[in-house]
Structure 1
Amino acid sequence: MRSCSVSGSVTAVAGGYNITAGGTNIFGAADQFTFNYELVDGNFDYKVRLAGLTLADAWSKAGLMGRQTLDSNSVYACSLATPSVSGAYFQWRTTTGGGTSNSGNFLVNYPNTWLRLQRTNNLFTSYASLDGNAWFQLGSATVSMTNSIYVGMAVSASVINGSANPTIAAQFRDLATVTGGTIGTSLPDFEPPGPSSRKTPFAITEIMYKPFPATNASGGSFEFIEIFNSNPFFEEISRFRLSGDIDYTFPQGTFVQGGQYIVVAKDPTALTAYYGLSGMPVF
């Protein structure tokens, strides 16, 4: 496999690849992303498990792509997943330099977000799954390509931010040809995390109180609260306060990106080391 990168890297690890990427998006008339690919002849049916995807934007994305050329405006079809609120979906471009189309929406549940892309002549079909066996179709489209195309794993931070160029990290595992499995007749109903009152974009999605084990060997506590911004855009929470059994005031300049999780921990250092947290703000 080879890598074609705007700003990123591809690292082979046990069971798959870790890819870091910048880039402005995979969308519209042109794309900017990191691509780990090989030339594939004829029909194919590939699946991969996306074990993790960090967030730079609610539309940061990673997935399986089939692409005619490595030009930024090439025709393509891809199964994509986002870090949280935007879910997984099918996207394609049918004309060089033309716009893109999307279909489907499926919840993401890392480390068990599975994506699948199938080619039958010029018909490309996209699927998603939570176990790599029970598949749900996200959509299909006819995209005219030659017999030999570039197929692989695509990642884009999907951020346009002046001179800054944030990167994201995607963990691809268990890439394989599809064998067996089932296909559902309709996408399952699901409700993404969000506030029960619908009056605020924030929701407390997890409370860990008196866990087992409660501390590390040095006495560092593993208690925490997880908070989620269900909006697709950022919110500032500078000087906002959690009070009661926990008492914490967010420092000045605290922003929570759209679709981002944050954690307020009793002992941030102990919690981060124990759970191996990365790419998530811990206060």
Structure 2
Amino acid sequence: MRLGFYNLQGGTGKTTIAGNIAYYLSDKAKTIYVDCDIYAGSGAILFGLENAQHTLNSYLSGNSGLNDSINHYRDLAVIVSDSTPNAFNTDIDQKRLLELIETLNENYDIVILDLPPNITEGNLLFSSLNLEEKVVSKMIVVAEDSIPGIANTLKTIELLYALDIDVVGVIVNKYRDITNFEEVLEDVMAVLPYDEKVELQWVEAVPIIEKKSKFSRELSYLAEDLAEVYIQKDLAALRALKLAKELKEIGLKKVDEEE
């Protein structure tokens, strides 16, 4: 299952939410988090991997292999983007990017894609428009509790529908009772409060979901709901398909041997 987190607007908290949910789910299924923001990703800071030699950038440029590019934070597999100015030297190989996602999808139960804001070169949203299967199978939109934030969220949802990408729902983040988002947003799956403790995770390189706070509690509830309502169902279907494929391959091999 490939689950993306997105908004056209930057700074809504996509990385905080995507990274923390990925970490939570890694205790339940084989999970990998991929920071797809090639030029301005911050996932490396969240997981204390700023000095990682092998990144998504070095992989796309052909300087790193896949196995080298996968780091780990406890049980969670992590592919980070380059957090230094050297990121701007990345040569994006679109085919290599698509092959990466396909390989991860075959080897992990859950692939969490932390997508860059705006519409940038190499954005996975547009990488599969001519393919039979979407690169991102499900999308969660992360909104910010502000008037521009809600306006950009509506634009984001409209874009995703136009691209025929399944929107699971909207997370309203940094809630401070600023907007009446209930009047304009549908499918709000969680409202996460503004919490100054979230800033500490970037200093300590420890996901906020490990700490005791109202934010982490609400985020844990959301992650648990995702695991129960969406992920378990999809995992059962995917595992059944994989088993059927393996049985078919065994059957074909047996026929060849008999011939």
The structure having more radius of gyration, on CA atoms, is 1
TM-score normalised by L of structure 2: 0.27
- Higher helix proportion (structure 1 or 2): 2
TM-score normalised by L of structure 1: 0.26
Structure with greater contact order relative to length (CA < 8 Å, sep ≥ 6): 2
- Higher strand proportion (structure 1 or 2): 1
